[in-house]
Structure formats: structure tokens, C-alpha cells
């Protein structure tokens, strides 16, 4: 045991885990193993304690920093005005300086390359252009009407059937127009439909004498309204714009065909 005590300072902890290297009896090996186990236990406890202390210190620092930040915010809190508005530090990035020499990173060609259409000043490629090949918007199939993105399928009028006008509560001699139908809640156009004109459709029976003003009438609706003795007034729509030269030629053509048919002297 005396030899073991003298050799202890010169041995490492790894050698203590192998008692057969320096022990002559089983008793000596058992005492060495007990000593190494106690030392490992103390080392683990010391590590745990150090970790707990470090965690407490970090948490204390975080709490202190948070409390100081809150105190600064409370101390410097003032009402937002136009004269004190500013972006947060770091939220705005400095613009890239181009044409300031090769060492700046964007000096020679400023990131536009050496040659080509995209490197010229004032030039650009239109959206959808793919260098001359068939572009994507022309390769994919299309659907008819509004489903395909065309305006041909969009409604041109706000349609109302005769049965709705019959049940709306109009009396003989009243005027039926887009405004009166809106006031009675027969139609409630929203969005794009608010700019459309009124069209009368012939669904249902009709037997009142009314003054009907609309931009269009279906053939069946026109027959039923005329049979009931209604007065029909067709509201003209917005005339399509044409060039003055085209309008002049159209007027001359109408005048020519009217004379040809004998409608004018």
C-alpha cells in the first residue's frame, strides 16, 4: 500500500482503471478500483455543477439584457410622428455601386456581360419572348370564351325574364328600366355587371301594359310585350369608335344604299 501511495501522483486516471498494471494482490486491485470509481463520481458531479452554474449565469445575463432593453424602450418611447420615422438598423441595405472600378466587383461591365442585346443601354426583351422559338403562351391549348382568357365569353347585358317583371309588382303604365328593377331588388349587379345594359328575355307569360326601356330584347320577349300592348324603347349603346375616314365612308355607303332602295329622294 505504501508503494501504491507513492505511485499515485505519477499515474494517470486511465492507468487507475487497469489495477493489474501495478497491483500485486487482489486487495490492492480492489482498493484501486474503489478509488477510481469515487474519483469518476466526483468528476461527474463537478461537471454537472459547472454546467448548472454556466446555465444560471447565461440566464441571468439574458434577463438583465431584456430588462435593460425594456427600460430603454420605456425611457425612449414617444409617439410616432412623420419627423421621427426611420427604418430599423440593418433593415436597409446599401445599393450596389456599379461602374466604380474592377476592384469594386461591378466595375467593367456592371453585371450586364460583354456583348448582346441585354447589355445595350435602353434595350430590353419583351415579356414572353423566348428568343424566336414558339413561346409558352402560344404552345399551350386554349379554351373558348372567358375560360380561355378571351372577352368573347363575357356577358354583354344584364338579363331579366318577363316572369320576374310580372312578379315584381308593377302596375299598368309604369316604367320598367334598369333603375326601377334595381330599386325593386329584381337585379343586384355587382362588379363588372354594374356597367352593363339591360336585356329583356322571354321566359314566362306577360299580360301588363308597361313602358319598357332596355338596350336589347329577345325575339320571344319582343313578341310577348307587343302582344300585351307594351311600349318598347330601345336604349342605344355606346357607339364603337372608328377613324374619321372610316366613319365618312360608312355614312356615304348608307346614303348610297338608302337612295338605291328608294328610301330618300
d(CA 96, CA 110): 10
Beta partners for residue 85, in sequence order: none
Q: Which position has the higher pLDDT, 237 or 174?
A: 174
Q: Which of 126-135, 203-212, 228-237 has the highest mean pLDDT?
A: 126-135
247 inside domain: no
Angle CA 232–238–241, to nearest 5: 145
74 exposed, middle or buried (CB, 10 Å; 0-12, 13-18, 19+)? exposed
What pLDDT, on a 0 to 100 scale, did the predictor assign at position 76?
59
pLDDT at 28 over 80: no
Query: If pLDDT is split at 50, 70 and 90, which confidence band does 162 have?
Result: very high
CATH code at position 215? 3.100.10.10
> What's the number of domains the chain is made of?
2
- Burial profile 184-205: b = 16 or more Cβ within 10 angstroms, e = fewer: eebeeeeeeeeebebbbbbeee
194 inside domain: yes
Q: Which of 51-55, 79-83, 167-171, 212-216 has the highest mean pLDDT?
A: 212-216
Domain boundary among 40, 57, 74: 57
82 inside domain: no
Q: What is the pLDDT of residues 68-92, one digit of tens each?
A: 766 666 655 677 888 888 888 889 8
d(CA 241, CA 223): 32
d(CA 198, CA 158): 5
What's the whole-model pTM score?
A: 0.41
What pLDDT, on a 0 to 100 scale, did the predictor assign at position 65?
66
Strands 157-161 vs 175-176: parallel, antiparallel or unpaired: unpaired
144 inside domain: no
pLDDT at 8 over 50: no
Phi and psi for 157 in degrees, rounded to 5?
Answer: -140, 165
pLDDT at 142 over 70: yes
Q: Which position has the higher pLDDT, 238 or 227?
A: 227
33 inside domain: yes
What's the rounded mean pLDDT across residues 159-168?
92
Could you write out the three-class secondary structure of the chain? Answer: CHHHHHHHHHCCHHHHCCHHHCCCCHHHHHHHHHHHHHHHHHHHHHHHHHHHHHHHHHHHHHHHHHHHHHHHHHHHCCCCCCCCCCCCCCCCCCCCCCCCCHHHCCCCCCCCCCCCHHHCCCCCCCCCCCCCCCCHHHHCCCCCHHHHCCCCCCCCEEEEEHHHHHCCCCCCCCEECHHHHHHCCCCCCCHHHHHCEEEEECCCCCCCCCEEEECEECHHHHHHHHHHCCEEEECCCCCCCCCHHHHHHHHHHHHHHHHHHCCCC
122 inside domain: no
Q: Which domain range does residue 193 map to?
A: 157-234
What pLDDT, on a 0 to 100 scale, did the predictor assign at position 17?
45
Lay out the sheet containing 211-214: strands in order across.
175-176, 211-214, 231-234
164 inside domain: yes
Average model confidence (pLDDT) across the chain: 80
214 inside domain: yes
Amino acid at each position: 500500500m505504501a508503494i501504491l501511495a507513492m505511485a499515485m501522483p505519477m499515474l494517470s486516471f486511465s492507468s487507475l482503471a487497469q489495477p493489474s498494471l501495478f497491483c500485486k494482490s487482489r486487495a490492492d486491485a480492489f482498493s484501486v478500483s474503489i478509488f477510481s470509481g469515487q474519483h469518476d463520481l466526483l468528476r461527474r458531479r463537478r461537471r454537472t455543477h459547472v454546467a448548472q452554474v454556466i446555465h444560471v449565469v447565461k440566464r441571468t445575463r439574458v434577463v438583465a439584457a431584456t430588462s435593460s432593453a425594456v427600460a430603454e424602450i420605456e425611457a425612449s418611447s414617444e409617439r410616432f410622428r412623420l419627423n421621427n420615422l426611420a427604418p430599423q438598423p440593418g433593415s436597409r441595405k446599401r445599393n450596389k455601386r456599379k461602374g466604380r472600378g474592377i476592384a469594386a466587383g461591378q466595375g467593367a461591365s456592371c453585371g450586364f456581360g460583354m456583348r448582346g442585346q441585354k447589355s445595350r443601354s435602353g434595350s430590353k426583351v419583351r415579356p414572353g419572348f423566348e428568343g424566336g422559338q414558339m413561346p409558352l403562351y402560344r404552345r399551350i391549348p386554349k379554351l373558348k370564351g372567358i375560360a380561355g382568357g378571351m372577352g368573347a365569353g363575357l356577358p354583354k347585358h344584364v338579363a331579366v325574364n318577363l316572369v320576374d317583371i310580372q312578379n315584381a309588382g308593377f302596375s299598368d303604365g309604369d316604367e320598367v328600366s334598369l333603375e326601377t328593377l334595381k330599386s325593386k331588388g329584381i337585379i343586384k349587379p355587382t362588379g363588372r355587371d354594374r356597367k352593363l345594359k339591360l336585356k329583356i328575355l322571354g321566359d314566362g307569360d306577360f299580360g301588363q301594359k308597361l313602358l319598357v326601356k332596355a338596350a336589347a330584347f329577345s325575339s320571344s320577349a319582343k313578341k310577348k310585350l307587343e302582344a300585351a300592348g307594351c311600349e318598347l324603347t330601345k336604349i342605344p349603346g355606346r357607339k364603337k369608335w372608328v377613324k374619321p375616314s372610316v366613319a365618312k365612308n360608312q355614312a356615304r355607303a348608307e346614303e348610297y344604299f338608302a337612295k338605291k332602295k328608294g328610301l330618300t329622294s
